[in-house]
Amino acid sequence: MLATTSDALTQTPSTTAETAARGAPLDTTISVRGLRKLYGGDSDKALELLAQGVSKEKILESTGCTVAIQDANFEVRRGEIFVIMGLSGSGKSTVLRCLNRLIEPSAGSVVVDGIDVTRADKQRLLEVRRRKIAMVFQNFGLLPHRSLVHNVEYGLEMQGVEKATRRAKALHALGLVGLQGYADKLPRELSGGMQQRVGLARALATDSDILLMDEAFSALDPLIRKQMQDELLDLQARMNKTLVFITHDLDEALKLGSRIAIMRDGAIVQIGTPEEILTRPANDYVRAFIQDVDRTRIITAGAIAKRSDVVIHPKAGPALAVKRMRELGSSTLFVMDPLRKFLGLVHIEDALRLVSENVHDLGRIIRADVPTTTPDTPLAKLVAVAASTRIPISVVAEDGTFQGIVDRASLLACIAGETR
Ligand SMILES: Nc1ncnc2c1ncn2[C@@H]1O[C@H](COP(=O)(O)OP(=O)(O)OP(=O)(O)O)[C@@H](O)[C@H]1O
């Protein structure tokens, strides 16, 4: 496990005024507009053809330019894990490296916390790279003859941090990734997973708010990879960094991503939360991509809960309850008070009995002992519950408010891969 810290690396003061002035939402930390990258050949001519909608293949033929990014537009929100996913050659690494201008964009803008990186002079760009954006590479990028603590200190040396402070920060960062006690080892004495932790520690030690991670876990074997993913999520929850994470692995993207951008042939074809991508794929390409995913692990009760129709207020009375159930063709109604607090359900037979006994208090027949779940529960966890009862499962938030119901039909539709 990565160690807990009480003094998590602090965020630099936000430049919200600057950001707002540029028209981006306040919680945006990276804003990418009209980004294009062409490699080789006559790029002016190629950009012109690209603007005219000419295909990548034709552009390569007539100008010798490879179009790596066509026209990327996206925002990364502060504190999220923004995953860029796509097959090999789709342009992921190029996009990532344009964010800190390790690769020079051919057109478009990248604004990081109000700083237009694409127009920054050399000095400003160096500052951004040293203090705002750190990078974690797939092949770890460690210096083989330096001890781990010296490797982690490297970025701080570049920042000009004096020796005692950088040693303290490096040791602290090694502790964060669970490598306390390994400070004096050499990289070759560590496993791949441990080496990648050092890569991560080096990025964390710089205090950068933004971490760019390029296929950071792809070189690790599956078990270690899964462990590192869990630990990254844990670390992220405690440190509130902003992460841009590149992967070609859909499962990894779905597991880590607050939002995912799916790339194809240099273009972003969809940006959405894992649930949005699974429930509302933008086109056939995305649909084909996600077809084998176990959707019930990702989609939550809250996402498919039916919110309307099925509720009644406790004061409504049994006659109205019976009428509503007949209109809906349902044998149950879910009762919530005026503050949306969930009270339970009423059954049609009980309501009919009250009507025949001329009793008006619906409260007497509310059944509180019914299956409930929280909105963030993955559907996979509800399958057994749904199989053991005919009553729909009530989705109730932690504060007791009623969010809707999940019935067997919508659960089965989701398991069968039907998108809504
Ligand atoms: N230095 C370069 N010179 C010419 N073409 C390049 C260069 N770097 C990348 N490309 C091309 O740009 C396109 C996008 O490459 P990029 O490496 O960004 O894709 P990727 O999605 O990150 O792929 P991978 O997962 O294999 O790293 C590809 O067609 C690639 O061949």
Domain C-terminal end among 269, 293, 317: 293
pLDDT, position 26: 55
Residue nearest to atom 11 of ligand 1 (CA): 68
Rounded distance from Cα 81 to ligand 1 centre (Å): 23
The string of pLDDT tens digits covering residues 127-162 is 898 889 998 887 777 888 999 999 999 888 888 889
The residue whose CA has the least distance to atom 4 of ligand 1 is 39
| Together in a domain, 238 and 376 | no
CATH number at residue 157: 3.40.50.300
Same domain? 191 vs 250: yes
Q: How many whole angstroms from 44 Cα to the centroid of ligand 1?
A: 20
Residue 259, beta-bridge partner list: 82
Let me know if residue 21 belongs to a domain: no
Residue 309 lies in a domain: yes
| Domain boundary residue, one of 270, 293, 316 | 293
* pLDDT tens readout for residues 363-415: 889 999 899 999 999 998 898 888 888 888 999 999 999 999 998 888 888 77
Intervals of the chain under pLDDT 70: 1-26, 308, 417-420
Q: Which atom of ligand 1 is nearest to the CA of 263?
A: 21
CA distance 143 to 160: 19
CA angle 211, 103, 152 (to 5 degrees): 35
Give nearest CA residue, ligand 1 atom 1.
39
pTM metric for this prediction? 0.78
- pLDDT score of 41: 77
Identify the residue whose C-alpha is closest to ligand 1 atom 30. Answer: 89
Q: Which of 393, 369, 368, 394 is nearest to 383 (CA)?
A: 393
Q: Are residues 237 and 308 in the same domain?
A: no
CA 195 to ligand 1 centroid distance, Å: 25
Instruction: Please check whether residues 274 and 340 belong to one and the same domain.
Output: no
Atom of ligand 1 lying closest to residue 94 CA: 18
Do 288 and 341 fall within a single domain? no
Reported as type and span, the H/E element at residue 372 is strand 372-373
Round to whole Å and give the CA distance between 98 and 196.
23
Q: Which atom of ligand 1 is nearest to the CA of 248?
A: 25
CATH at 377: 3.10.580.10
User: In whole angstroms, what is the distance from residue 112 CA to residue 29 CA?
Assistant: 6
Specify the ligand 1 atom closest to the Cα of 103.
1
Do 264 and 323 sit in the same domain of this protein?
no
CA of 69 to the centre of ligand 1 (A): 9
What is d(CA 161, CA 210) in angstroms, rounded to the nearest whole number? Answer: 19
Identify whether residues 159 and 93 lie together within a single domain: yes
Distance CA 357, CA 158 (A): 83
Rounded distance from Cα 266 to ligand 1 centre (Å): 9
Q: What is the pLDDT of residue 24?
A: 47
The verdict on the CB of residue 90 being under 6 Å from ligand 1 is yes
The pick from 67, 84, 92, 102 for probing ligand 1's pocket by mutation, whose C-beta has the most ligand atoms within 8 angstroms, reads 92
Q: Show the domain range for 269.
A: 76-109+118-293
Which protein residue has the closest C-alpha to ligand 1 atom 24? 88
What order of strands is seen across the sheet that includes strand 242-247? 133-136, 210-214, 242-247, 81-86, 259-264, 267-272
Structural domain count of the chain? 2
The answer to whether ipTM exceeds 0.85 is yes
pLDDT of residue 227: 86
89 close to ligand 1 (CB < 6 Angstrom): yes
Name the residue at shortest CA distance from atom 5 of ligand 1: 39
Confirm whether 144 is domain-assigned: yes
| CA distance linking residue 301 with residue 382, whole number of Å | 8
Which residue has the CA at smallest separation from atom 10 of ligand 1? 68
To test the pocket of ligand 1, the residue of 39, 56, 60 to mutate (highest count of ligand atoms within 8 Å of its CB) is 39
